[in-house]
A = this chain, B = another copy of it.
Amino acid sequence: MRRPLFRLTQKRVLPLWQRESRTTLAPGALRQLHSCSALVYRKHGHHYDTVRMEEMSLPALGQHSVRLRMLAAPVNPADINMLQGTYPILPVFPAVGGNEGVGEVVEVGRKVTSLRPGDWAIPWDAGFGTWRTEAVCEADDLLQVSKDIPLLGAATIGVNPCTAYRMLQDFVTLKPGATVMQNGSNSAVGQAVIQIAAVLGVKTINIIRDRPNRQELEEELKSMGADFVITEEELQCLGLDNVIQELPKPILGLNCVGGRSGGLVLSSLCDGATLVTYGGMAKKPLQIPAKSLIFKNITLQGFWMTQWKRNNSKDVTQLQTMVTSVCDLVKSGQLQPPHCVQVPFHHYSQALQATIQAHQRKHVLLM
C-alpha cells in the first residue's frame, strides 16, 4: 500500500489530483477525458459558505488507477473542522471537502487486480475529498466494501463503526461478561460500540445526557443491545455502585465527551482499567486525579482512526479485514447503519449547516 503523502500536525496535504502518480500514462492519456462536480474550498472559514460547487477535470486513468463514481458521502464534524482549519490534517488549496464516502468503480487501469468495475469501494485514508461526483485515484487508495449492505451503511462504515470495532479490540482483552462503560452513547460510534459489544457478549453501561425523550432513547439503545443506560446526572448523583450492582466494574471506558463526563467514566472503572479517549465534545479537558493513575493503575490512551489506518497502511490485508468484518456485521443485521438524512449533492450547504448544529443524525450527500 502506498505510503501516504500526509504529514500530521497541520502540515498540508496535496489534493488527490495534484499528487504525483506512480502510474505510467497510456498513450494519448494526457487528454482529459472526464470531469466531475466537486465541493471545493480555497481558504479556511468558520462558515459553510467557504465551499463552492465547481466543475473539475479528472486526470487520465493510469495502469494502477481507478475511476470511481461517488455515490454517497457523509458530512462529518471532522470535515467541518477541516474546512475551518482546526483539524490536525489540512489540505493544500484548492481542496475538495469530505473524508468519507462510497463510490462505484467505473473503470480500472490495466494492472489493477484488487477491484473491478461495478465494485463498491471506500477510501481508506482521510483527505480523499469525497464530496465529488467522480474521482480518479490509485487502486491502493481504496478498500472494497460489500454491495450487500445498504448504500448509506457503506458510505459511513469506514470511520465510526471501525473506531468502535478497534477500540473494543485493541486496548484490553474483553472476555464475554466483561463490562465496558462509555459516554456519548447515542453518537454514531457509541451506537456501534453497543452493537459490537453485544456480539462479543460484552456488557455495556451507556451514559447519555438527560433530555426530554430520555425514555425513548433508552429503549432505542437497549433494542440495539445496551445493558444499562444512565444519565450523567444520575451517575454523578448516585455513583455507579448504587445504580448497577449486577455487573463487574468496567475494565474499559470509552470517552468522547471529556470534562465532567470523562471524569465520571474514569471514576467508575475497575482497578487496572483503561480509559480510551476518542473525542472531546464538551471542549473541556479531562480532570484526572493522581490517585486514579497511581493507586487504581488506570491507563489513559487516545484513539484516532485516521492514525491507526496510517500506522497500518503497509498492511492492506489488515485494513481490508477490518472493513470486511464490519461489513459482515452489517450484513448479518448485528450492526445497524446510523440514522441518516439524505441530502441531494447540490443541496450540500443544507447538510453542512445541519452538521454544524447539534444533531442526532448523519447528513449524507447523494451524488
Q: Does A303 reach chain B (CB closer than 8 Å)?
A: yes
Given A297-B304, A299-B300, A285-B290 contact (CB < 8 Å): yes
| CB within 8 Å of B: which A270-318 residues | 271, 277-280, 285-304, 307
Nearest B residue to A255, CB-CB: B290
Chain A residues in the interface with B (C-beta under 8 A): 8-9, 88, 255, 258, 262, 271, 277-280, 285-304, 307
- CB-based contact A290/B271 at 8 Å: no
A8: chain B residues at CB < 8 Å are 271, 295
A303: chain B residues at CB < 8 Å are 294
A88: chain B residues at CB < 8 Å are 291, 295
- CB-based contact A302/B294 at 8 Å: yes
Question: Can you sample 20 A-B contacts with CB below 8 Å?
Answer: A8-B271, A8-B295, A88-B295, A255-B290, A258-B290, A262-B290, A277-B288, A280-B289, A280-B290, A286-B289, A287-B288, A292-B302, A293-B300, A293-B302, A294-B302, A294-B303, A295-B302, A295-B304, A297-B301, A298-B302
**Least CB distance, A256 to chain B, in whole angstroms:** 8
Nearest B residue to A89, CB-CB: B295
A304: chain B residues at CB < 8 Å are 294-295, 297
**Least CB distance, A188 to chain B, in whole angstroms:** 16
User: In the bound complex, what is the Cα–Cα distance between A285 and B289 (angstroms)?
Assistant: 4
User: In the bound complex, what is the Cα–Cα distance between A304 and B271 (angstroms)?
Assistant: 13
| Copies of the protein in its oligomer | 2
A258: chain B residues at CB < 8 Å are 290
- CB-based contact B290/A297 at 8 Å: no
**Least CB distance, A287 to chain B, in whole angstroms:** 4
Nearest B residue to A292, CB-CB: B302
Q: For the complex of A and B, list the 4 residue pairs with the smallest distance between their C-beta atoms, beginning with the closest.
A: A280-B290, A293-B302, A300-B300, A294-B302
**Least CB distance, A251 to chain B, in whole angstroms:** 16
- CB-based contact A291/B295 at 8 Å: no
Given A8-B271, A271-B8, A297-B302 contact (CB < 8 Å): yes
Beyond the given A9-B271, A279-B290, A286-B293, please list 13 additional residue pairs across the A-B interface where CB-CB is below 8 A: A8-B295, A9-B295, A277-B290, A278-B294, A285-B289, A285-B290, A286-B290, A287-B288, A293-B300, A293-B301, A294-B304, A295-B304, A300-B300
User: In the bound complex, what is the Cα–Cα distance between A307 and B272 (angstroms)?
Assistant: 11
**Least CB distance, A254 to chain B, in whole angstroms:** 12
- CB-based contact B290/A287 at 8 Å: no
**Least CB distance, A265 to chain B, in whole angstroms:** 13
8 Å CB contact of A279 from B255, B271, B286, B294? B294
User: In the bound complex, what is the Cα–Cα distance between A298 and B280 (angstroms)?
Assistant: 15
- CB-based contact A301/B302 at 8 Å: no
8 Å CB contact of A287 from B285, B291, B292? B285
User: In the bound complex, what is the Cα–Cα distance between A271 and B258 (angstroms)?
Assistant: 20
**Least CB distance, A170 to chain B, in whole angstroms:** 13
Nearest B residue to A258, CB-CB: B290
**Least CB distance, A192 to chain B, in whole angstroms:** 17
- CB-based contact A299/B298 at 8 Å: no
A293: chain B residues at CB < 8 Å are 277, 286, 300-302
Nearest B residue to A301, CB-CB: B299
**Least CB distance, A291 to chain B, in whole angstroms:** 7
A280: chain B residues at CB < 8 Å are 289-291, 294
User: In the bound complex, what is the Cα–Cα distance between A361 and B286 (angstroms)?
Assistant: 34
**Least CB distance, A364 to chain B, in whole angstroms:** 24
